[in-house]
């Protein structure tokens, strides 16, 4: 799940417009608004980036799943019958493709919703345990914190100094223990329903692309081979677009991301086509 916690970053140093506030005799600090601007501008944080996993996961699966139907039919030579048989086979591609698109999209969305909800429930349960341990056995938790800090490279004295600070803030302490002792991602701000909806939407939007040539030319005088070539081209474009979208958010090399997504898609599509050939 994408980590939706606000990143802890050092205060920005700057003059007018930096978001820093200063009063005589007080240290400079950062406003909430300035922190939000810093995260958005310097780290590229946005609603799109927060749901990158769902978008890529749903989009890639949608493209591959739908193209598997198209390539499976083509590999089995169902589209090469000619005449009415060919028109019937093209209709089958549309029927199976659209039915599969909707059914799998719903399944993907609900699966993402349930998995995120389950992770969130587990996180809440484990955090309640940490809160209880901090309240009823603080000395043990204190020693565990010191040990974990020392493992991260702090000296014994510095580790105890930091642990003393955490001890004064039970909620923050529990969150730190969740991350560093239990190695659990913060799920306090997880949104299972939204994540499931984003996965479902991405699956539909990208998954329909391989079917667009069949929808556009359905009932027209065009060969099935030409339709499959158009569907293959549309699939390649969709995979490249998905890779480009990922690279914009992650700020990685555009071509590397695009070719990586394309490579994964080609492997999956080739397997589907090969199965169609074997069964045909």
DSSP state letter for 265: H
Average pLDDT over the chain, rounded to an integer: 80
How far is it, in rounded angstroms, from Cα 22 to Cα 177? 33
How far is it, in rounded angstroms, from Cα 214 to Cα 227? 7
How far is it, in rounded angstroms, from Cα 49 to Cα 35? 17
DSSP state letter for 153: T
The pLDDT tens digits for 32-86 are 665 555 455 555 455 556 777 888 888 988 998 898 888 877 765 454 555 555 6
Q: Is the pLDDT of residue 141 over 80?
A: yes
The pLDDT tens digits for 253-269 are 889 989 998 998 888 87
Q: Is the pLDDT of residue 10 over 70?
A: no
- With cut-offs at 50, 70 and 90, classify the pLDDT of residue 225: confident
Least confident of 106-110, 151-155, 178-182, 270-274: 270-274
Contact in structure between 231 and 67 (CB atoms under 8 Å): yes
Q: What percent of the chain has pLDDT over 90?
A: 45
**Residue 209 CB partners (closer than 8 Å, separation 6+):** 63, 66, 234, 235, 237, 238
> Could you tell me the residue ranges of all domains in the chain?
47-121+191-279
Furthest-apart CA atoms within the chain: distance in Å? 88
How far is it, in rounded angstroms, from Cα 128 to Cα 119? 14
- Structural tokens at position 203: 């699956």
**Residue 227 CB partners (closer than 8 Å, separation 6+):** 79, 90, 213, 214, 217
- With cut-offs at 50, 70 and 90, classify the pLDDT of residue 126: very high
pTM score above 0.85: no
Q: Is the pLDDT of residue 272 over 80?
A: no
- Structural tokens at position 264: 């994964």
Contact in structure between 173 and 134 (CB atoms under 8 Å): yes
Which residues does residue 30 pair with via DSSP β-bridges, in sequence order? 20
The pLDDT tens digits for 80-111 are 555 555 667 778 888 889 999 999 999 999 99
Least confident of 46-50, 107-111, 229-233, 274-278: 46-50
Looking at residue 219, its pLDDT comes to 74
- Structural tokens at position 60: 């890639």
């Amino acid at each position: 799940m994408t980590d939706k916690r606000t990143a802890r970053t050092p205060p920005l140093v700057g003059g007018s417009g930096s978001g820093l506030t200063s009063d005589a005799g007080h240290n400079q600090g950062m406003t909430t608004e300035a922190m939000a601007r810093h995260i958005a501008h310097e780290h590229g944080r946005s609603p799109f980036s927060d749901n990158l996993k769902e978008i890529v996961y749903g989009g890639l699966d949608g493209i591959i799943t739908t193209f598997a139907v198209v390539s499976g039919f083509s590999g089995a030579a169902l589209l090469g019958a000619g005449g009415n048989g060919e028109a019937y086979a093209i209709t089958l591609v549309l029927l199976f493709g659209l039915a599969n698109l909707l059914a799998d999209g719903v399944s993907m969305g609900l699966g993402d919703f349930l998995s995120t909800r389950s992770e969130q429930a587990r996180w809440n349960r484990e955090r309640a345990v940490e809160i209880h341990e901090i309240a009823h056995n603080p000395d043990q938790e204190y020693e565990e914190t010191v040990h974990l800090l020392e493992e991260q490279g702090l000296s014994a004295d510095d580790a105890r100094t930091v642990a003393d600070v955490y001890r004064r803030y039970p909620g923050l302490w529990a969150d730190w223990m969740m991350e560093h002792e239990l190695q659990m991602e913060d799920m306090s701000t997880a949104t299972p329903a939204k994540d499931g909806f984003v996965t479902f939407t991405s699956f539909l939007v990208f998954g329909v692309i391989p079917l667009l040539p069949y929808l556009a030319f359905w009932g027209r005088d065009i060969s099935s081979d030409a339709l499959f070539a158009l569907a293959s081209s549309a699939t390649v474009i969709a995979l490249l677009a998905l890779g480009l979208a990922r690279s914009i958010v992650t700020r990685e090399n555009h071509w590397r991301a695009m070719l990586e997504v394309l490579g994964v898609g080609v492997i999956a599509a080739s397997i589907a086509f090969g199965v169609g050939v074997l069964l045909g």
